[in-house]
Amino acid sequence: MEHVADPLPQAAFAKAVLELEVSNHAGVMSHICGLFARRAFNVEGILCMPIVGSDASRIWLLVFEDQRLEQMLLQLEKLIDVRSVRRHGAGHEVFERLEAFFH
């Protein structure tokens, strides 16, 4: 009998905040969300705004630090529309400051 892997209990993992700089056009979000969705890699939070005075947008992602995160970062970097990827600790203030809007 084949063993079906249980989904990783993500709540047990620490969180990380990813900061992406991407080309600002309509399809970018689909490319990025698709990468995570297909691997059932849960994205807890997502925030996207154009960067003032440029043709780029910044995307903030709140994700779990499971063992696949390294591979996810490499896959993100491969996307043509993703110009840079930075990884921050869970303590990054961007999502903390937003929390007031989610009560």
Partner 1 sequence: MLQMTGAELIVRLLERQGVRTIAGIPGGAILPLYDALSGSTTIRHVLARHEQGAGFMAQGMSRVSGRPEVCFASSGPGATNLVTAIADAKLDSIPMVAITGQVPLSMIGTDAFQEVDTYGLTIPITKHNFLVRSARDLLTVIPAAFRIAMSGRPGPVLVDVPKDVQNQLVAFEAYPEPAEREAPPPFDLTAIDAAARMINEAERPVLYLGGGVVHGGASQQAVTLAEQAGLPTTMTLMALGAMPIDHPLSIGMLGMHGARYTNFVLEEADLLICVGARFDDRAIGKAAQFCPNAKIIHIDIDSSEIHKIKRAHVGIQADVAAALEALLPRVKVQLRKRWLSHVAGLKTRFPLQMPGAEDPRSHYGLIHAVAAALDDEAIITTDVGQHQMWVAQAYPFRRPRQWLTSGGLGTMGFGMPAALGAALAEPERTVVCFSGDGSLQMNIQELATLAEEGLNVKIVLMNNNSLGLVYQQQSLFYGKRVFASRYGRPLDFVAIAEGFGMRGVDLDASENPRATLAEVLNEPGPCLIHASIDRENFVYPMVPPGGANTEMIGG
Which residues contact partner 1 by CB under 8 A? 2, 26-27, 30-31, 34, 38, 70-71, 74-75, 77-81
Minimum CB–partner distance for residue 8 and partner 1 (Å): 17
Supply angle C-alpha 89, 7, 42, rounded to 5.
40
* Whether the Cβ atoms of residue 44 and residue 13 lie closer than 8 Å to each other: no
Q: Which is nearer to partner 1, 38 or 97 (CB)?
A: 38
Minimum CB–partner distance for residue 1 and partner 1 (Å): 10
Instruction: Quickly tell me which residue has 């970062």 as its tokens.
Output: 73
Q: CA-to-CA distance for 99 and 15, rounded, in angstroms?
A: 15
Q: Which is nearer to partner 1, 73 or 94 (CB)?
A: 73
